[in-house]
């Protein structure tokens, strides 16, 4: 059908980063939000823990910065960490003004509101604002309600972005983004969207692994599209595995928030003994990379299917008040967490690397921005500290909005994008090929590029992924697009970037642990990959 839509700003992604940016920009621009599924279906909605910010008079920005730098294992950009921590409180106050209902403590003596602050791994103070154990849901539904009722914001639900459209700038001959080709999953056809500014807010790529805490939409789309368009990526080897996902055949991808450990939950072997004190002096409150490796080590050492997380020593009322979502979900599966421990395993959770941007969210390509998990900002380094992810979305959405407002010229005429050519493709009668490749990719990424790596495993994975790439690219050229094909095309590209980045790092640092190079190098350097022109 080749329909074209025009807008001032195209935001690809509908999580905390995309929706907050839309609300910032819609005062002065017409915004179009592309949502891959229903607007609430994304990683933000399922985030349980909360958002880190200094609200306690006994805490400090300097402490938040220091904790983040330690968790990042020497690879954080200190200026970015400082900028994020300094802007955290203002961004949360903006969320509160929008109607997000964070849990409160007893009011102060002067009547001021005091928010209940919890603590998570890597934090030296209680600084996590939360809405019980469903913080992401509170943020997502609040922001979604705001954008749905905004007169200058359009929302296209169940649309996949296929590729970015760019042209050569007439002044300097550099590439500039002018929109995107998109797949309308509702009517199953390709459409075009022109935009003066395009923002990738598509989240991470944890679906590249067989076991993940993420929803199905987390398939690395923005990273792959930006790479194909010519953007650099950085630190793709640092994939965070959340230590505690519920291990149950009917649990799906249910995460058990780090706030459980912040409130005293203990990690146990099947025999009921603790093991974290043997791995780190911070025990259960060590950063996620350390806890995930410890669980993985104990599972392999004992031949166990899982470890256990126990908070039953706390009162029943405390558990039900602070963790109602987890209590109800596990109870439905026959686990009463007020009386018994929860079986847990690590699962792929967060992509610490991504598309390289500056402090304003600008990528290597003019008029193209990236914010949230899709981007590499330098905040997380080699390991993301808990509850800094939603914070990053908010801080960089605001920074990008300021930059875009200063640079956008909505008086410029719209450009007619080249039509999508389907004249030489047919409908596929071999969908089984996609399914087979899909499962093969996620399985060998889990086995060869997981929590503990070796050079031989990584080389095997690279060989397999190159074969898959050629097969998938041939399939893509001959058959009409579909949701599964588009996601697989992007996932196999992201898998290659992860593997190549991991092979480039000849040390163990943060989330990247290899048996062949177990020590740290003296100098900490980020891994940068640049597309071949």
Q: How confident is the model at residue 321 (pLDDT cuts 50, 70, 90)?
A: very high
Catalytic residue ranges: 288
pLDDT at 473 over 90: no
Give 262: exposed, middle or buried? Use CB within 10 Å, 0-12, 13-18, 19+. buried
Q: Taking 90 as the threshold, does the pLDDT of residue 533 lie above it? A: no
pLDDT at 282 (0 to 100): 93
Residue 1 predicted with pLDDT over 60: no
The strands making up 233-234's β-sheet, listed across from edge to edge, are 375-376, 354-356, 233-234, 528-529
Fold of 431-517: Methane Monooxygenase Hydroxylase; Chain G, domain 1 (1.20.58)
Output the pTM of the full model: 0.91
Integer-rounded Cα Rg, in Å, for the chain is: 23
Q: At residue 488, does pLDDT exceed 80?
A: yes
Give the CATH number of domain 243-347; options: 3.40.50.1000, 3.40.462.20, 3.90.700.10, 1.10.10.10: 3.90.700.10
Digit-coded pLDDT (tens) for 138-162: 999 999 999 999 999 999 999 999 9
Domain boundaries defined on the chain: 4-237+352-407, 243-347, 431-517
pLDDT tens, residue by residue, 96-122: 999 999 999 877 667 778 899 998 888
CA distances from 240 to 86, 176, 375, 507 (A): 25, 32, 15, 17
Exposed / middle / buried, residue 4 (Cβ in 10 Å: 0-12, 13-18, 19+): middle
Residue 424 pLDDT grade (very low, low, confident, very high; cuts 50, 70, 90) = low
Whether the per-residue pLDDT at 475 is higher than 60: the answer is yes
Residue 3 has what pLDDT?
Answer: 92
| CATH superfamily of the 4-237+352-407 domain | FAD/NAD(P)-binding domain (3.50.50.60)
pLDDT at 367: 97
Predicted pLDDT of residue 108: 67
pLDDT value at 170 more than 80: no
Contact 381/74 with Cβ under 8 angstroms? yes
Classified as helix, coil or strand, 310 is: strand
CB count within 10 Å of CB 249 equals 6
Q: Is the dihedral of CA 220, 223, 229, 235 positive or negative?
A: negative
Structure confidence at residue 46 (pLDDT) = 84
In the block, residue with structure tokens 């790479």: 227
β-strand pairing of 4-12 with 189-200: parallel
- The pLDDT assigned to 433 comes to 80
| Residues 144 and 132: beta-carbon distance below 8 Å | no
């Amino acid at each position: 059908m080749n329909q074209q839509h025009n807008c001032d700003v195209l935001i690809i992604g509908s999580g905390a980063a995309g929706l907050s940016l839309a609300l910032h920009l819609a005062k002065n621009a017409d915004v179009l939000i592309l949502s891959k599924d229903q607007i609430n279906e994304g990683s933000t909605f399922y985030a349980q823990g909360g958002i880190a910010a200094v609200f306690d008079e006994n805490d400090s920005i300097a402490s938040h910065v220091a904790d983040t730098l330690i968790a990042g294992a020497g690879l954080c950009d200190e200026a970015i960490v400082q900028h994020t921590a300094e802007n955290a409180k203002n961004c949360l106050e903006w969320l509160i003004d929008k109607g997000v209902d964070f849990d409160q403590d007893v009011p102060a003596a002067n009547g001021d509101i005091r928010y209940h602050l919890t603590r998570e791994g890597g934090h030296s103070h209680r600084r996590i604002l939360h809405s019980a154990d469903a913080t992401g849901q509170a943020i997502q539904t609040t922001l979604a309600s705001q954008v749905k009722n905004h007169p200058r914001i359009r929302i296209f639900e169940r649309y996949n972005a296929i590729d970015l459209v760019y042209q050569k700038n007439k002044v300097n001959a550099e590439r500039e983004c002018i929109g995107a080709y998109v797949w309308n999953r509702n009517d199953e056809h390709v459409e075009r969207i022109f935009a003066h500014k395009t923002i990738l807010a598509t989240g991470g790529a944890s679906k590249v692994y067989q076991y993940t805490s993420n929803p199905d939409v987390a398939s690395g789309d923005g990273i792959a599209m930006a790479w194909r368009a010519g953007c650099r990526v950085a630190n793709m080897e640092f994939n965070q595995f959340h230590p505690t996902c519920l291990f149950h055949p009917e649990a799906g991808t249910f995460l058990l928030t780090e706030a459980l450990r912040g409130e005293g939950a203990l990690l146990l072997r099947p025999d009921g003994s603790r093991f974290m004190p043997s791995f780190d002096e911070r025990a259960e409150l060590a950063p996620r990379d350390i806890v995930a490796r410890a669980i993985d080590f104990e599972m392999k050492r004992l031949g166990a299917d899982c470890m256990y997380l126990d908070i039953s020593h706390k009162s029943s009322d405390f558990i039900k008040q602070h963790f109602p979502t987890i209590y109800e979900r596990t109870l439905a599966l026959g686990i009463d967490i007020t009386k018994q421990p929860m079986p847990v395993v690590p699962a792929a959770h967060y992509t610490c690397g991504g598309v390289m941007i500056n402090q304003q969210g600008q990528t290597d390509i003019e008029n193209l921005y990236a914010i949230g998990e899709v981007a590499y900002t330098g905040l997380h380094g080699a390991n993301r500290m808990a509850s800094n992810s939603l914070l990053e979305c908010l801080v960089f959405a605001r920074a990008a909005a300021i930059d875009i407002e200063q640079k956008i010229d909505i008086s410029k005429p719209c450009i007619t994008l080249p039509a999508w050519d389907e004249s030489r493709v047919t409908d596929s009668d071999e969908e089984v090929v996609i399914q087979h490749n899909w499962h093969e990719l996620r399985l060998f990424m889990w086995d060869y590029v997981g929590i503990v790596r070796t050079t031989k495993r990584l080389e095997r994975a690279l060989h397999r992924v190159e074969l898959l790439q050629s097969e998938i690219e041939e399939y893509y050229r001959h058959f009409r697009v579909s949701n599964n094909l588009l996601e697989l095309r992007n996932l196999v590209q992201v898998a290659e970037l992860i593997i190549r980045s991991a092979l480039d790092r000849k040390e163990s640092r943060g989330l990247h642990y290899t048996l062949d190079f177990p020590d740290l190098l003296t100098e900490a350097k980020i891994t940068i990959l640049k597309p071949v022109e």
